[in-house]
Amino acid sequence: MDWRKATSRPGPLAPGVRESRRIVGRYRLEAVDIETGAQFEDAVAFAAWPMELRETATGPRLRFPTGEEPCGIPLRALQARDDDALLMAGRCISCSHEAQASVRVIGTCLATGEAAGLAAALKVLHGACDAAAVNAAREKIAHEHS
């Protein structure tokens, strides 16, 4: 694998800035996905926090989802567009500025981190992985530790 071809979108580098660089993924999570509670067959995590936009000094502007369900986060948003072996998690997944205002919270970051780690391990062990395998591994681990 040639990691020199990996790309990310530039973002602010100053301390205290909530925006960060994001992978250019196989799918880009958008604001409409968060707002409507979009569901994906390859979901490996959920975004349940409103979009917490902080573009002004007067405090956050919250945009709440209109759907009944939290938005699924597809494995494709964690995978690099050109190499499914390169995975990102947390604030670095493939998403728009507004979608990142929802997915950057710690719970979602932890869930996408776990999913990315499981996907990477499954890729090494079996040469490939999909969301069903990631979710099955998560269930197996949870069952073994309950």
Please list the pLDDT of the chain residue by residue as tens digits (146 residues).
Answer: 566 777 665 555 555 556 678 899 999 999 999 999 999 999 999 999 999 987 677 778 899 999 899 999 999 999 999 998 899 999 999 999 999 999 999 999 999 999 999 999 999 999 999 999 999 999 999 999 88
- Residue 80 placed within a domain: yes
23 contacts 82 by C-beta, under 8 angstroms = no
- Residue 68 placed within a domain: yes
Residue 46: strand, helix, or coil: strand
pLDDT of residue 85: 86
- Residue 99 placed within a domain: yes
- Residue 27 placed within a domain: yes
- Residue 4 placed within a domain: no
pLDDT of residue 57: 72
- Residue 102 placed within a domain: yes
- Residue 36 placed within a domain: yes
Q: How many domains does the chain have?
A: 1
- What does pTM read for this prediction? 0.84
- Nearest-CA neighbor of 110 among 35, 45, 54, 41? 45
- Residue 2 placed within a domain: no
Residue 19: strand, helix, or coil: coil
pLDDT of residue 137: 95
Domain with 51, as residue range(s), is 11-144
Instruction: Give the C-alpha distances (Å, rounded to integers) separating 99 from 19, 61, 102, 130, 136.
Output: 11, 13, 5, 23, 27
